[in-house]
Chain A
């Protein structure tokens, strides 16, 4: 049994009844021994009827174990049906990559919202990782907020596998729908100049409509700010509320441009609290 399988088994054992667990194990055995696809399809749908939908009760150690097996895997907000469905996906024979993806396609294309959330959350755990890129990009196009969030937030798949175009769309959409950006795994690592430009343009659109801009928007921008963006940051530092000022200061601190450093030096309190490590993106996002 794989490490992921072992963890999920262990967590479910302490979260669901013996009878429910036995049902799941029976279905896993049928599916892994090559039962008709109909068995997989009906079982995958029926998981909440047998296991329920309560949250998995995970300890800090459980979460650490998850992170050890797959960096970025965070099942802290998973429910028992999601864990059960993931086990059924992992039970599906996958030696034939094409056949495996074909079965996944069928279940994705008929899935309801709960199933979609489970499917997208499980992408980083599934075999043939590189074959799910299109699927992940598709998840980002969803109009259902929690389906979008299942792929975009607390999920290492996008940062590890998406190309820049899809990645940038995902980050921009997260801003657009109001998702907390600090929950996007690998956000800092995958920051890039095109994304910085897109986010700054988006800020201008919001300002034109007299709407607010989430301060987190500046997080992937700082390192790639050009002089136009530094001018934007100057405006935020001059007119923004405390959170916006802190975000703009952090962005300046990350910029290699002398213009940005000069700007930051005009705000010595913010500059020193960044230099002393009191103001960071991590503690900023917890506000």
Chain B
């Protein structure tokens, strides 16, 4: 089965992860712009970060046969540094229209401060102006209220719920999000957010319509194989295969292909220029032979 991981922070992962992910059937990833674990102190850091999302990271993924897309945005936590946030807002138009940018995101609330609300709304306006999708990060604390306020703001700023993905849902938010017509994404992440056994039960209870599974794997202890492993668990526990395919592949494609920046042919029939690129670069490989296709090739390190 083919999988899409529509929320994963690959810049925190090693090239080896790409190799394993491809082996487990992940054909495409979406990397939402988010914070790096410590706050950035100037807009230049954001510029380099956004550049790496549309540049180096995408190239690195392509070297292992994975299509890499991203979302561009100012994250909620760092919106609280208003001087910085203002400068970052000026950078966004330089990146939002680039190829493979599938949404403005991940934006939303962390502490639900006034500053977070201000830059969230400004970014909703930008999405509306550029006719883009939005990826919403729901807060870890006060999640239900944060999710509801996010959705209300989206409606207020004229976005159609079908153009908005609400992420990091749990059993407490799912009904509200689906009921209002938004896409409901779930992050399989150890200790926090959603577990894969719980995810099986969510799909059993709510079906597969507008539900999306992702890993959000990042610099924390997290699993870049969370999507294929959850899919396997669903199959083992009797979820119909077409439901598994919907929540681990088709729904992400349906949601994010609305921008025209992501389509199945990108990985089913990669353009010839991408085939020329494949494995012909140098630095990703760090002196290794470019033909490596499987983790088992690493049994002997010469």
Q: Mark A72-92, 1 if CB is under 8 A from B, else 0.
A: 000000010000000000000
A109 to B96, alpha carbons, bound, how many Å? 15
* Given A38-B93, A53-B271, A112-B98, A145 contacting B281 (CB threshold 8 A): yes
Contact partners of A111 in chain B: CB under 8 A: 51, 55
Contact partners of A49 in chain B: CB under 8 A: 97, 99, 260-261
| A255: interface (CB < 8 Å) | no
Q: Which of B262-279 contact A (CB under 8 A)?
A: 271, 273, 276-277
Contact partners of B93 in chain A: CB under 8 A: 38, 41-42
CB distance from A48 to the nearest CB of B (A): 5
| B34: interface (CB < 8 Å) | no
CB distance from B126 to the nearest CB of A (A): 11
| B54: interface (CB < 8 Å) | yes
Whether the Cβ atoms of A145 and B282 lie closer than 8 Å is yes
Q: Which 10 A-B pairs have the closest CB atoms?
A: A45-B97, A143-B283, A112-B54, A46-B97, A145-B281, A45-B98, A110-B94, A145-B280, A177-B282, A112-B98
Contact partners of B249 in chain A: CB under 8 A: none
Whether the Cβ atoms of A113 and B94 lie closer than 8 Å is no
Contact partners of B50 in chain A: CB under 8 A: 110
- Identity of the chain A residue whose Cβ is nearest the Cβ of B283 in the assembled complex: A143
CB distance from B232 to the nearest CB of A (A): 34
A109 to B44, alpha carbons, bound, how many Å? 11
A143 to B271, alpha carbons, bound, how many Å? 21
Question: What is the predominant secondary structure among interface residues of chain B facing chain A?
Answer: helix
**Which residue numbers of B lie inside 8 Å of A, CB to CB?**
47, 50-51, 54-56, 58-59, 91, 93-100, 130, 260-261, 271, 273, 276-277, 280-284
A116 to B51, alpha carbons, bound, how many Å? 12
Whether the Cβ atoms of B59 and A110 lie closer than 8 Å is no
**Which residue numbers of A lie inside 8 Å of B, CB to CB?**
38, 41-42, 45-46, 48-49, 53, 79, 106, 109-116, 143-146, 176-178
CB distance from A27 to the nearest CB of B (A): 12
A79 to B50, alpha carbons, bound, how many Å? 25
A79 to B276, alpha carbons, bound, how many Å? 15
Whether the Cβ atoms of B99 and A112 lie closer than 8 Å is yes
Q: Which of A38, A53, A79, A143 contacts B282 (CB 8 A)?
A: A143
- Identity of the chain B residue whose Cβ is nearest the Cβ of A43 in the assembled complex: B97
Supply 6 further A-B pairs (C-beta < 8 A) apart from A110-B94, A143-B56: A49-B99, A49-B260, A53-B271, A110-B50, A112-B100, A146-B277
Question: What is the predominant secondary structure among interface residues of chain A facing chain B?
Answer: helix
Contact partners of A53 in chain B: CB under 8 A: 271
Whether the Cβ atoms of B282 and A176 lie closer than 8 Å is yes
CB distance from A147 to the nearest CB of B (A): 9
- Identity of the chain A residue whose Cβ is nearest the Cβ of B277 in the assembled complex: A146
Whether the Cβ atoms of B97 and A144 lie closer than 8 Å is no
CB distance from B235 to the nearest CB of A (A): 37
A176 to B283, alpha carbons, bound, how many Å? 11
A53 to B265, alpha carbons, bound, how many Å? 14
CB distance from A152 to the nearest CB of B (A): 13
A78 to B218, alpha carbons, bound, how many Å? 37
A112 to B51, alpha carbons, bound, how many Å? 7
* Given A42-B93, A53-B271, A113 contacting B280 (CB threshold 8 A): no
15 contacts between A and B (CB under 8 A): A41-B93, A42-B94, A45-B95, A45-B96, A49-B260, A109-B47, A111-B55, A114-B99, A115-B98, A143-B59, A143-B284, A144-B59, A144-B281, A145-B281, A176-B282
Whether the Cβ atoms of A110 and B271 lie closer than 8 Å is no
- Identity of the chain A residue whose Cβ is nearest the Cβ of B55 in the assembled complex: A112
CB distance from A168 to the nearest CB of B (A): 18
Whether the Cβ atoms of A45 and B94 lie closer than 8 Å is yes
A143 to B284, alpha carbons, bound, how many Å? 8
- Identity of the chain B residue whose Cβ is nearest the Cβ of A114 in the assembled complex: B99
Whether the Cβ atoms of B54 and A177 lie closer than 8 Å is no
Q: Which of B59, B97, B100, B280 contacts A177 (CB 8 A)?
A: B280
- Identity of the chain A residue whose Cβ is nearest the Cβ of B54 in the assembled complex: A112
